[in-house]
Amino acid sequence: MHPPTPESALKADDATATSLATRRAWQYRSMATEILTPRLRLRDWRVDDLESLAEVFAKPEVWHFPFRRGFSRSETETFLLRRIAEQGSRGWTTWAAEDRGTGGLIGYIGLTEPNFLPEVMPSVEIGWRLDPLAWGRGLATEGAKAALAFGFEDLRLGDVVSICEPDNVSSSRVMERLGMQFDRATVDPVRGVPLSIYRLERAEWETSLALAK
């Protein structure tokens, strides 16, 4: 997942693009979300997640793409408060990801609006960012599959994109395991770095489910 620059991602910015998913998600605004997979619990954010999330986000590996550094506690708090605000106003956002085996918060997985890249709007982006201690276990793929199901079945999205820097091979491999196809190369309009866009249409997702039965 490729987030916006620190300035746009971490400062209050009430100007968000209106997407089809946003208009259809009004019914979720008063409903707490919890999605269970065999090893993960994807749930709404809480204010008391700050300490655990700050510990994860402080690790440079977590935010190497695109910032090449970890987050400060203040930056993590801003991130968390924005997610909580999105839950209330839009009804969905990237979810807090818990390891069901330990109950610990290990990062986030879910859907967001990629406002930093207007050329892909109004598509919704799927992304993930996990504690390095959780890497290599297939958890990003497991959680992202559940997020795709929510996007296509509950929000009735027509398609979902995922965005990464070409050097972020681990993320692009997750995208491919999700059945996403490389759509095109582009450039971040603010930072000027190359980006790869992957896309999955709902019809393709439905076909893959039918073939898996």
Backbone angles phi, psi at 54, to 5 degrees: -65, -35
Note the pLDDT of residue 32: 59
Please report whether residue 117 resides in a domain.
yes
The whole-chain average pLDDT of the chain stands at 89
**14-48 in b/e burial notation, b at 16+ Cβ within 10 A?**
eeeeebebbeebeebeeeebebebeebbbbbbeee
Question: To the nearest whole percent, how much of the chain has pLDDT over 70?
Answer: 85
* Structure tokens given for 22: 């946003």
Please report whether residue 148 resides in a domain.
yes
Name the pTM for this structure: 0.86
Note the pLDDT of residue 147: 98
Give the three-state DSSP class for 17. coil
More confident residue, 33 or 133: 133
Note the pLDDT of residue 2: 52
Note the pLDDT of residue 213: 82
Mean pLDDT of 36-40: 98
Note the pLDDT of residue 13: 37
Calpha distance 119→114 (Å, rounded): 9
Quick check: 69 and 63 in contact, CB under 8 A? Answer: yes
Please report whether residue 1 resides in a domain.
no
Overall number of domains in the chain: 1
Host domain of residue 90? 6-10+17-212
Please report whether residue 182 resides in a domain.
yes
Note the pLDDT of residue 132: 98
Give the three-state DSSP class for 141. helix
Calpha distance 94→44 (Å, rounded): 8
List CB contacts of 196: < 8 A, sequence separation 6 or more.
Answer: 163, 164, 165, 166, 172, 182, 185
The model's confidence at residue 183, banded by pLDDT at 50, 70 and 90, is very high
68-106 pLDDT tens trace = 999 999 999 999 999 999 999 999 999 999 999 999 999
Q: Is the pLDDT of residue 194 over 50?
A: yes
Instruction: Provide the CATH number for the domain around residue 24.
Output: 3.40.630.30
**Residue 79 CA neighbour count, 13 Å, CB half:** 27
List CB contacts of 175: < 8 A, sequence separation 6 or more.
Answer: 162, 164, 198
